[in-house]
Each structure stands twice: as structure tokens, then as C-alpha cells.
Amino acid sequence: MKIVAHCMVKNEEKWIWYSLMSVIDYVDEILVWDTGSADNTVNIIKSIDSPKIKFKQVFVNNAADMTKYRNEMLSETKADWLMVLDGDEIWPEKAIVESINKLDNSLDFLVNKFWNLVGDVYHYQPESAGKYKIGKHIGHLTIRFVNLKKYKTLNYICDYPLEGLTANNKTLIQNDIDAKFQMVYSPYLHATHLVRSKSNWNSPNHRNNQKYELGIKIPDDFDYPRCFYFAGPTNPWKKRSWGYMLNAIWQTPLKLIKRRIFK
């Protein structure tokens, strides 16, 4: 069984090394395409000495280009299973091993739970903040493994940040009521709400989504990704500052009220 990961990045210097290193031992190949980083992301990717990483730099002018390149990635992929990997997603061993153990030819895809980190790697958003819906499941979840043998005409439709996979150019696979999937409950870590780069950037094509929220404390016995203990290019263990805490203290109640109103 061959697993190929797709990772499209821009300005992810804080987490890209950990993201790639957290899965590199479990997949056969990682297509890593940079869409115009202005920070140290490219150098960090190139510093990883592995034949599994297939790196390319592409020029993205608008949101439609993101979808175009994702489809180009698909056209260059020969594998049994596709893994979708963002540059700010880091996988604990338990989460990726559980996922791989559930890969079965009868399934269309897997649905993975994740923890949306807030402030640092010690806290995450409550499940009530997650609005993704797949089948009967709602929360912080997404499709991260797709059976390419089941989808012969798979491609992306819509533009960033709403792009999604479809097999018929009409219905996204997560909305297909006949799709067969399994849930993976061991969460991976998603750092989309943390600082991801020293570069100040924000455009219609890429988002910088740092959020202020107290969150839920990750249990002391949680098995963090092994790569966090390696000598990486950045420090994943840095705790949130007092300035962050002051912002989070007054913003958290407002977020909780909003979620109750718009649940």
C-alpha cells in the first residue's frame, strides 16, 4: 500500500519542519509545494535530507491558482492513498498509526479529529468551536486520507479557502451520503491559530489566523509528537505570553457566547 502526502505551504517556518517530520516515517512520498514564502520556510524544507520529499516552488497569483496546483499535485500522484497535510499540522504517533491501521480498500476516506491549538501547544479550542460536519459527526474534524483506488476522477473544485475534493465535479466527497468512511478519534495537532511565521502577511490567498482564547489544557499524560523532542529549527514548546493571556481573558467569554448563539 503506497501513501503519498500532499503539502502546499506559504510562510510556515514555525511548524513546517515538525509537520513533515511527524509523518515522514509513515508515508512513501511527500509532495511539498511552496506558493511564495517570504520567510525561512523554503530553507527549512530543503534542510530535511530525505528522498521522500519532492519539493517544488510555484507562483500563486490568486485563489484559483491554489486549486489549479492542487489538481496538478493529484495528476502527478501515483498511489493507493492520498494524505492531505497542511504545513501547520503535526501528527502524534498515536494519531497517524491509528489512521494507517484503518486504511481499508472498502473505504472511501478517513475522517480525522484534530485539536485546534490556541496560544501554545498546551491548550486547544473546545469542541463547540468546530463547525465541520461530515455524516453525523460535527466538530473539529476533516478528511485527511482518501482512497485513490476508489476515486478514479478525483479533483478539486471551488477556490481557497473553500476548495474541496469531488469525484463528479458537483458533490464534495464529504457530502456524499453514500460514502464509506471511518472516524479516527486520536487527534492530530493543528496550529492554524498560532503564530506560524515572523513574516507579517495576509492576503485573499493565504490567511494568518492567530486567535486569542484560553482554551482547554492538554492532559499532562498526552503523548506529543516525537519530533517535538528533536533539535528542530524552531522551539515548539514556547508558552503563551502574559500579553496573550490578557487578550484571551476578555475575548474568551465573548467567543463562548457567540458559539451558544450561533450553534
Report how far apart, in Å, the C-alpha atoms of 73 and of each of 99, 204, 208 are.
22, 22, 24
Residues 166, 154: contact at Cβ < 8 Å? yes
Strand boundaries in the chain, DSSP class E: 3-9, 29-34, 53-57, 81-84, 89-90, 109-116, 123-124, 132-134, 137-139, 141-147, 155-157, 164-166, 181-190, 216-217
User: Which amino acid does the sequence have at 123?
Assistant: H
Number of domains in the chain: 1
Residue 7: how many other CB atoms lie within 10 Å: 24
**18-32, 195-209, 242-256: the lowest-pLDDT one:** 195-209
Q: Which structural domain range is residue 55 located in?
A: 3-190
Residue 153 lies in a domain: yes
Give the number of C-alpha atoms closer than 13 A to the C-alpha of residue 259, restricted to the C-beta side.
14
Residue 4: how many other CB atoms lie within 10 Å: 22
pLDDT 10s digits, 188-242? 999 999 999 987 544 444 455 688 999 999 999 999 999 999 999 999 999 999 9
Higher per-residue confidence, 170 vs 21: 21
Report how far apart, in Å, the C-alpha atoms of 237 and of each of 193, 208, 214, 224 are.
15, 20, 17, 11
CA distance 98 to 130: 22
Residue 222 lies in a domain: no
Residue 197 lies in a domain: no
Residue 239 lies in a domain: no
**What nine digits make up the cell of 199?**
513574516
Residue 136 lies in a domain: yes
Residue 210 lies in a domain: no
CA distance 113 to 95: 9
What is the sign of the dihedral through the CA atoms of 75, 178, 5 and 79? negative
Residue 209 lies in a domain: no
pLDDT 10s digits, 122-172? 999 999 999 899 999 999 999 999 999 999 899 999 988 889 999 999 899
CA distance 221 to 92: 13
Beta strands at 137-139 and 81-84: parallel, antiparallel or unpaired: unpaired
How confident is the model at residue 207, as a pLDDT? Answer: 52
Cα–Cα–Cα angle for 168, 170, 171, rounded to 5 degrees: 90
Residue 195 lies in a domain: no
pTM: 0.94
CATH assignment of the domain containing 38: 3.90.550.10
